[in-house]
Amino acid sequence: MDLSECLNLADFEERAVERMSKMAYEYVASGAADELTIRWNRQAFDAIKLNPTVLNGIGQPDTRLSLFGQELSHPILIAPTAYHKLMHPEGELATARGAGAAAAVYVVSSFTTTPLAEITREATQPLWFQLYVRDDRELTKSLIQEAEDRGFRALCITVDTAVPGVRNRQEKGGFRLPDDVITHHMPGPLDEKKPLTWKDIEWINSFARTPVLLKGILNASDAEKAIQSGASGIIVSNHGGRNLDTVPATIDALPRVADQVNQRVPVLMDGGIRRGTDVLKAIALGASAVLVGKPVCFGLACAGAEGVTKVVEILRTELEIAMILTGRATISGIDHSVIWK
């Protein structure tokens, strides 16, 4: 397709509807139950007003940052999402190429439909790995060690999915994996009987060689427990509104978590990022970086690697414009004063 037609992230979703199967589209776009949290993720961003300053003499802003000892070109990461071969025949290989061209960290899902070994051969930017802890703890340990051995540079443990959410819309869409779409590192869907606890996080930290982030924190007291359990970072996330409906928007939860953490470890966030101004707001409210999921899937469906690249590049360009117009020359210069009180 002609990517010049896609001027913003909403354009990608509009065009992806025409290119994806109904089942695949409903899988990506849907949320839990009545999908209130999905809507709140966007409404909360929309309600935040910016406080610009003028005549700052800022030309090209500097979007670079350092995260876990890694020097990143910008604070926009590709969030872990499953089953990329449902969206494009090249699956995660296209996503990795697209991330590389956009100078973006790609967080690979446990439910990748491409083996980790193949993804690492394709990647030119840092890879992180998202992990679901399975009942078979030895399988979990071996998967962590494989990811580390293959050069993945951080581990993101999803902690908000003790059970899958009520996904009525996904079920109505007839979700099922085609016979030729295989999850190479996960033995079937999540149906765990052994609860994940803080002791498991301590256990993982006892042997993990890379930074361990906990993904799915909304509660400030959980953020404190995460630090005490040895977590190197926190991802404020409501699972894209896909698990427990009526939990708050992540941008609303972010300041509470960031205040509790008080810069002891990096705090990242996902959920509802659709504009560069959203990235600016998240950083102003305490995030070191953001992760983007659904729009990347739609970019992948539209144009493979090139679609992924353009989604990230649009956000980065919009972030740079927002930084200029709010008088912020660097990422570290984005603080609470950017927000209109």
Q: Is 304 annotated as a binding residue?
A: no
Q: Which two tokens stand for residue 97?
A: 């190429």
Please state, in angstroms and rounded to a whole number, the distance separating the CA atoms of residues 218 and 298. 26
Q: Is 242 annotated as a binding residue?
A: yes
Q: Is 109 annotated as a binding residue?
A: yes
Q: Is 273 annotated as a binding residue?
A: yes
Q: Is 74 annotated as a binding residue?
A: no
Phi, psi of 335 (to 5 degrees): -135, -170
Q: Is 132 annotated as a binding residue?
A: yes
Query: Angle, nearest 10°, between helix axes 36-47 and 250-261?
Result: 70
Q: Is 223 annotated as a binding residue?
A: no
Which is it for strands 70-72 and 65-67: parallel, antiparallel or unpaired? antiparallel
Q: Is 272 annotated as a binding residue?
A: yes
**Taking the CA of residue 57 as centre, how many other CA atoms within 13 Å lie in the half-sphere pointing to its CB?**
0
Please state, in angstroms and rounded to a whole number, the distance separating the CA atoms of residues 293 and 313. 14
Which residues carry out catalysis? 239
**Burial letters for 261-298: b for 16+ Cβ neighbours within 10 Å, e otherwise?**
beeebbbbbbbbbbbbbbbbbbbbbbbbbbbbbbbbbb
Q: Is 27 annotated as a binding residue?
A: yes
Please state, in angstroms and rounded to a whole number, the distance separating the CA atoms of residues 49 and 341. 8
Q: Is 158 annotated as a binding residue?
A: yes
Asked whether the CA dihedral 30, 31, 34, 37 is positive or negative, the reply is negative
Q: Is 82 annotated as a binding residue?
A: yes
Q: Is 167 annotated as a binding residue?
A: yes
Please state, in angstroms and rounded to a whole number, the distance separating the CA atoms of residues 63 and 90. 30
Q: Which residues are annotated as a binding site for FMN?
A: 80-82, 109, 130, 158, 215, 237, 270-274
Q: Can you say which residues are annotated as belonging to the binding site?
A: 27, 80-82, 109, 130, 132, 158, 167, 215, 237, 239, 242, 270-274
Q: Residues annotated as binding site for glyoxylate?
A: 27, 132, 167, 239, 242
